[in-house]
Amino acid sequence: MTADFETQLRAVSLRVTRPRLAVLAALRDHPHVDTDTVIALVRADQPTVSHQAVYDVLRALTDAGLIRRIQPAGATARYESRVGDNHHHVVCRSCGAIADVECAVGRAPCLTASDDHGFVVDEAEVVYWGTCPGCAADRTAQRSASSEGNR
């Protein structure tokens, strides 16, 4: 698996470094995490890596297209290593949980804007907002708890 990451890095002319490999591995195992979480995951394995080094790696990998930075309105930026398929996200308004939503296989119909105003469109950003199953269950639990006077 590390060999895959090395191939990916070389394909975009980035030097193979341990922090870069660690960030790619962290995002493969934990999609849609924010910068602080990436730092914690990398440091669990490589305690000497600085915050700045992780920031730099995230920027370099994003610029190279190996990872994707997503930033739902009002949320902190998250990163994922699933790139290039124009998939969308569903975001929980309560806890910020994010999950992938497939776009159509093959040509992405949402990229065909009803009016592109002459722009060459290469990405359509669609975010579905809602409440995740965990938060929905919590709310139901809270409601019944408060009706019993526990909260």
Interactions with Zn ion, residue window 23-52 (CB under 5 A): none
Interactions with Zn ion, residue window 49-68 (CB under 5 A): none
Strands, sheet with 127-130, edge to edge from the N-terminal-most edge strand: 98-101, 88-92, 127-130
Q: Is 92 in the site for Zn ion (CB under 5 A)?
A: yes
Q: In the structure encoding, which two tokens stand for residue 131, read together?
A: 């409440």
Q: Is 77 in the site for Zn ion (CB under 5 A)?
A: no
Q: For the chain, percent helix, then strand, then coil, each to nearest 5?
A: 40, 15, 45
Q: Is 132 in the site for Zn ion (CB under 5 A)?
A: yes
Q: Is 92 annotated as a binding residue?
A: yes
**Residue 77 CA to chain centroid, in angstroms?**
8
Interface pick for Zn ion out of 95, 113, 121, 137 (rule CB under 5 A): 95
Interface pick for Zn ion out of 94, 112, 142, 146 (rule CB under 5 A): 94
Name, in order, each residue with C-beta under 8 angstroms of 12's C-beta and a sequence gap of 6 or more: 64, 65, 66
Q: Is 110 annotated as a binding residue?
A: no
Q: In angstroms, rounded to a whole number, what is the distance separating the alpha carbons of residues 131 and 10?
A: 40
Which region among 22-30, 34-42, 73-81, 116-124 touches Zn ion (by CB under 5 A)? 73-81
Residue numbers of the site for Zn ion (CB under 5 A)?
Answer: 80, 92, 94-95, 97, 100, 132, 135
| Binding-site residues from annotation | 92, 95, 132, 135
